[in-house]
Chain A
Amino acid sequence: MPYLGSEDVVKELKKALCNPHIQADRLRYRNVIQRVIRHMTQGLDVSGVFMEMVKASATVDIVQKKLVYLYMCTYAPLKPDLALLAINTLCKDCSDPNPMVRGLALRSMCSLRMPGVQEYIQQPILNGLRDKASYVRRVAVLGCAKMHNLHGDSEVDGALVNELYSLLRDQDPIVVVNCLRSLEEILKQEGGVVINKPIAHHLLNRMSKLDQWGQAEVLNFLLRYQPRSEEELFDILNLLDSFLKSSSPGVVMGATKLFLVLAKKFPHVQTDVLVRVKGPLLAACSSESRELCFAALCHVRQILHSLPGHFSSHYKKFFCSYSEPHYIKLQKVEVLCELVNDENVQQVLEELRGYCTDVSADFSQAAIFAIGGIARTYTDQCVQILTELLGLRQEHITTVVVQTFRDLVWLCPQCTEAVCQALPGCEENIQDSEGKQALIWLLGVHGERIPNAPYVLEDFVENVKSETFPAVKMELLTALLRLFLSRPAECQDMLGRLLYYCIEEEKDMAVRDRGLFYYRLLLVGIDEVKRVLCSPKSDPSLGLLEDPAERPVNSWASDFNTLVPVYGRARWATISKCQGAKHHGPELPNTASFATSGSLIPEENKETIQELPDSGALMLVPNLQLTAEYFEKTWLSLKVAHQQVLPWQGAVHADTLQMALQVVNIQTIAMSRAGARPWKAYLSAQDDSGCLFLTELLLEPENSEIQISVKQNEARTETLNSFISVLETVIRTIGDIKS
């Protein structure tokens, strides 16, 4: 390991660097310096030889200089006092007759990240801005940004900013682009570089002279410019037209984004642009550069969300090839799932069916889920394919098919009959928790149509002792009780056994509670059981909330060609949110205090939580009755008042959460099924003054984070804060119990 024994290495290097014989021999001297850099690269701390390296910088050998400067830039923060010694040499180099040496010295000097260096670099930078060699000017312009970064939040130097603005007219294209980048960083507090009409037009005229990086960057800056008139807008679009066909996919996407954003009021122009970039995008999707292909596919998906038919005639381009990497195949399957229409559905399904038997279990499951997605529109064909897949008797296939069936029965009740006929026999091939839950749920809800449903459940009851997943046991309890209602004679005996086991022997609290609950419910009488279990299902129209049918182009135009389509919107929201939260950490005062108190509350004393609301000014009304329709209407009409992210491990025990929320008078309006990804829940609460709090919980298991968005019908910050702290306490408590 390079991390060990660093002292010996440093000692040896030091000795070598001091050796006058080595110093005299240029090649050997350089070799030793190379060794220092090599150790640095491997992560070894060689800051011990800083002094010797500074000495080595006084040389005419440019390679040696470069190496030493690289070393100094890395370790200057560790040895600021010694680094000051090097400044002298660097300053001298800044007036070297060779522009390359000048540029190198200036760049290195600006990259020394240490306090007090500003006063030394200011003058060389100013000289550099007026240097006759554009190479030095490029370096100097970025040097301004580096200097500003070193200062941190110090005030902006007006003269320097003006100088940079005037350099936007420089002859050299890279200087121009660097000026924009530099101004952007210096003026970050004020909203970045200002693109007014003269600057915009100047940039537009210079576009063709820039290299691809410059073009991409300038296109990005031009997003800020608002053309005054329609005429000007179309002039700009005409001027930029050729960039939609650029050789660089990055530039093409940049240009597309600019077009979409500028033409936000002209939907036909947007559609036209998307038609025109079809070619370049498809080319990128079938290019040999796989990573680029991946990025392009992500954007294709984004476009498909708004224009489902956009790529339909090109569906064959998205067929997977055997040797493609995993990530491209997964993306392509998603794309295929979205561009299905009446003409190609047959071919697409045929193709997807082929993927279902792929060697990679991951890929085959993705293909099955995709078929499930298509089944929402083309139910019969898909259900038939899925049924055939059950015949393969493969564990990893069967479990996913059953899960798909479960979702499908929910969304398209007309296929229930076909699903029920397919189910018998597949219990032998399911081993994992998700699949078992899905199967048990199906048997419970539609048991009256499946002749052998009680016997399958009986098997599960027999083996309940060896069952490892609590979620499966919970599902089993509910399903069996449901089935008991419709087929009492066959189920009574085993329901008794199961309840006995759950109450007397089960270790998992949640399962035991559920058992007890059902037991007591049964004691009250069968009518009561029916009332509770067969209460009307949550409204399927709530699905609207999860998946808005049509997303206009304008809703994502500003996210095009960023990381958002690559990560997905929800995930990006959590990523950027956390970044924001970390920066403004202290502004959320109650987070920390509640977090500690929350984790101390054990589940048994839930009453203590109930007292929490009293301590604040907030009183939530118990037994708030809110219909799903009313909730949905209100939710859509309000803006998010607060959003935050909390850690969360593992899956959700919906019932535990629901109960806990009930305790603090927060009602659950709707929830996703257990195991759905992403998992969502909608909550509501009202305080004594009539202020309504609507909440969405969004859980993405991969990130182990739960995102909370709260909307409020009256904007009152104090009550909002207390409501959030209550909610946070509950969620943290539940989260801690499970982990």
Chain B
Amino acid sequence: MIGGLFIYNHKGEVLISRVYRDDIGSQISDSALFSSSRPFLEERRNAVDAFRVNVIHARQQVRSPVTNIARTSFFHVKRSNIWLAAVTKQNVNAAMVFEFLYKMCDVMAAYFGKISEENIKNNFVLIYELLDEILDFGYPQNSETGALKTFITQQGIKSQTKEEQSQITSQVTGQIGWRREGIKYRRNELFLDVLESVNLLMSPQGQVLSAHVSGRVVMKSYLSGMPECKFGMNDKIVIEKQGKGTADETSKSGKQSIAIDDCTFHQCVRLSKFDSERSISFIPPDGEFELMRYRTTKDIILPFRVIPLVREVGRTKLEVKVVIKSNFKPSLLAQKIEVRIPTPLNTSGVQVICMKGKAKYKASENAIVWKIKRMAGMKESQISAEIELLPTNDKKKWARPPISMNFEVPFAPSGLKVRYLKVFEPKLNYSDHDVIKWVRYIGRSGIYETRC
């Protein structure tokens, strides 16, 4: 259970503070609470200040996302400049508290977009409203964005109609907590986004030290009624099961199917059905939600290969040459490519020559940043730089941080393909064919590093 929630900006000023239980920040008994109430408020402030002093303003790096100050545990999560801290005195489940904080971030983001100081200040009434609904007495309550929308009244002035009132009742008593009854759309439409982030750690010799893809299938549905959906992809196990028929088919599909290491689903997916026949069927929430999350580690298509060459010429000069090779179909275009080549701290000047894109030395970041807007598959590009160094008497060897890369490609690096998404709505008369469906694949770089 959570005793209180605080949101700070980077200076450590409190933007939001909501206390659910008395026990945090103080050991006041009831008598102390009633006899002199000053210490009560002061103690509460102490909890707030303790976190600021010990974590936000701490000199050293943060040693743990869980901090114990005066026997109170502070769980914090940082989003850009904002610190969210959950406070408790109990022996709670760490994973759960962090999940709750993430959920909190998601819900806030669903309401007002990016979590920034500006947005939080402008929406602080809304946030208090949300905190009121999501947690009661420190216990998480309903946290589905869709379901919350009925309770949160940003334009609260309008008094509710009878219809809406009954909706609240049915919504919270119904079996399906994530979808309202009686949703109607003129145009039944759905969007599927396969979003993947590919992570790589490669040795200077081009050996893959570790690589994995963590992906999400995000669905945005605008469907009437209570539609029953069935989702299919090129999961190896399913394909093998079906492909028993002809040997030809197995050999063909064997290549295209992928092995999923583990996957998890939104609450709405019937897990029993997945376990028995590995089919993914569900009644989707209205609007956007994350259908599944998965991870693969085998046969990953690495969209780019980085080949670094670093040569130290004497004590005051470094020659760096980096070649990037794109490794996908020539018809596809990768976008927003950025290669970050770290330079030593005592760099005095850099000369860069690149064939494609723009490269710049950023002294403040100690790196050469090379940006390419677009790049087709099976191409190669290279950059070479001469780095002048100031002679120092610091004998510390330069640690050579890895070269990191950012990009976006229009395919799924795991090889995942959506095979079908069927919609059935028995009560309303629209069929699977009437639904307009869109599928999109986006592969982004996660931590994509090559050591040099």
Q: Which A residues lie at the B interface, using CB under 8 A? A: 26, 34, 37-38, 41-43, 45, 60-64, 66-67, 70, 74, 77-78, 80, 97-100, 104, 107, 111, 113-115, 132-135, 138-139, 142, 145-146, 149-150, 152, 171-174, 177-178, 181, 208-209, 211-213, 216-217, 220, 242, 245-250, 253-254, 279-280, 283-284, 286-292, 294-296, 298, 316-317, 319, 321-327, 330, 357-360, 362, 392-394, 561-564, 566-567, 571-572, 575-576, 578-579, 582-583
Contact = CB atoms under 8 A, between A and B. Distances in A.
Contacts of A174: 141-142
A692 B448 CA distance: 62
11 contacts: A60-B159, A61-B156, A80-B34, A99-B165, A145-B137, A172-B172, A242-B275, A245-B264, A319-B201, A322-B401, A327-B64
B75 interface: yes
Contact of A254 (B93, B101, B168, B209): B93
Most buried by A among B124, B136, B264: B136
B22 A37 contact: no
B45 interface: yes
A209 B61 contact: no
B421 interface: no
B353 interface: no
Contacts of B271: 208, 242, 245
B100 A249 contact: no
A327 B95 contact: no
Nearest to A177: B139
B141 A326 contact: no
Contacts, number: 252
Contact of A77 (B34, B64, B293): B34
B66 A566 contact: yes
Nearest to A328: B65
Nearest to A213: B140
B93 A247 contact: no
Given A245-B262, A249-B99, A295-B94, A563 B124 contact: no
B92 A563 contact: yes
Given A67-B128, A295-B94, A98 B165 contact: yes
A579 B88 CA distance: 13
Contacts of B165: 97-99
Most buried by B among A242, A249, A290, A292: A292
A326 B65 contact: no
Interface of B: 1, 13-17, 19, 22, 27, 30, 33-34, 37, 40-41, 45, 48, 60-66, 68, 71, 73, 75-77, 89, 91-96, 98-102, 124-125, 128-129, 132, 136-137, 139-144, 151, 153-154, 156-157, 159-160, 165, 168-169, 172-173, 175, 177, 197, 199, 201, 209-210, 212, 214, 261-262, 264-267, 271-272, 275, 292-293, 295, 395-397, 399, 401-402, 404, 446-447, 449
B156 A357 contact: no
Given A42-B14, A575-B68, A582 B199 contact: no
B98 A283 contact: no
Contacts of A132: 169
B95 A563 contact: no
A128 B266 CA distance: 32
Nearest to A572: B91
Given A216-B96, A253-B93, A291-B75, A582 B27 contact: yes
A77 B40 contact: yes
Given A60-B159, A254-B93, A294-B65, A288 B125 contact: no
Contact of B93 (A211, A250, A279, A358): A250
Contacts of A66: 128-129, 132, 156
Contact of A561 (B95, B212, B396): B95
Given A178-B139, A242-B271, A288 B402 contact: no
A360 B16 CA distance: 34
A314 B161 CA distance: 58
Sorted nearest first, the 6 A-B pairs with minimum C-beta distance are: A247-B264, A63-B156, A250-B96, A213-B140, A62-B156, A291-B65
Nearest to A3: B45
Contacts of B199: 286, 321
A582 B71 CA distance: 11
Given A41-B124, A322-B402, A362-B60, A567 B66 contact: yes
A217 B96 CA distance: 10
B399 A296 contact: no
Contact of A316 (B64, B210, B292): B210
A327 B401 contact: no
Contacts of A61: 156-157
A138 B14 contact: no
B210 A317 contact: yes
Nearest to B45: A43
Contact of B132 (A70, A209, A249, A576): A70
A26 B157 contact: yes
A41 B61 CA distance: 28
A138 B172 CA distance: 10
A279 B261 contact: yes
Given A288-B197, A292-B99, A133 B172 contact: yes
Contact of A78 (B41, B73, B99, B154): B41
B357 to A, nearest CB: 22
A362 B173 CA distance: 54
Contacts of A566: 64, 66, 94
A413 to B, nearest CB: 33
B210 A41 contact: no
A78 B39 CA distance: 11
B173 A321 contact: no
A97 B164 CA distance: 12
Given A63-B129, A66-B156, 14 more contacts: A37-B125, A45-B41, A77-B33, A78-B41, A135-B151, A178-B139, A213-B141, A242-B275, A289-B102, A321-B199, A321-B449, A359-B399, A576-B91, A582-B27
Nearest to A64: B156
A300 to B, nearest CB: 12
Contacts of B48: 43
Nearest to B210: A316
Nearest to A250: B96
Nearest to B22: A113
Given A316-B209, A322-B401, A394 B449 contact: no
Contacts of A74: 19
Given A61-B156, A99-B165, A292 B14 contact: no
A586 to B, nearest CB: 13
B99 A394 contact: no
A394 B264 CA distance: 47
Contacts of A561: 93-95
Given A61-B157, A566-B66, A326 B61 contact: yes
B93 A142 contact: no
B149 to A, nearest CB: 12
B272 to A, nearest CB: 7
Given A100-B168, A208-B271, A286-B199, A250 B13 contact: no
A42 B13 contact: yes
A323 B271 CA distance: 36
Nearest to A110: B137
Given A63-B154, A287-B214, A291-B77, A279 B262 contact: yes
Contacts of B395: 392-394
B136 A292 contact: no
A139 B30 CA distance: 23
A37 B449 CA distance: 47
Most buried by A among B96, B151, B154: B96
A295 B66 CA distance: 9
Contact of A292 (B34, B95, B275): B95
Given A42-B13, A566-B66, A582-B27, A70 B124 contact: no
A213 B272 CA distance: 20
Given A208-B271, A562-B93, A181 B168 contact: no
Contacts of B265: 247
Nearest to B275: A242
Contact of A290 (B65, B99, B137, B261): B65
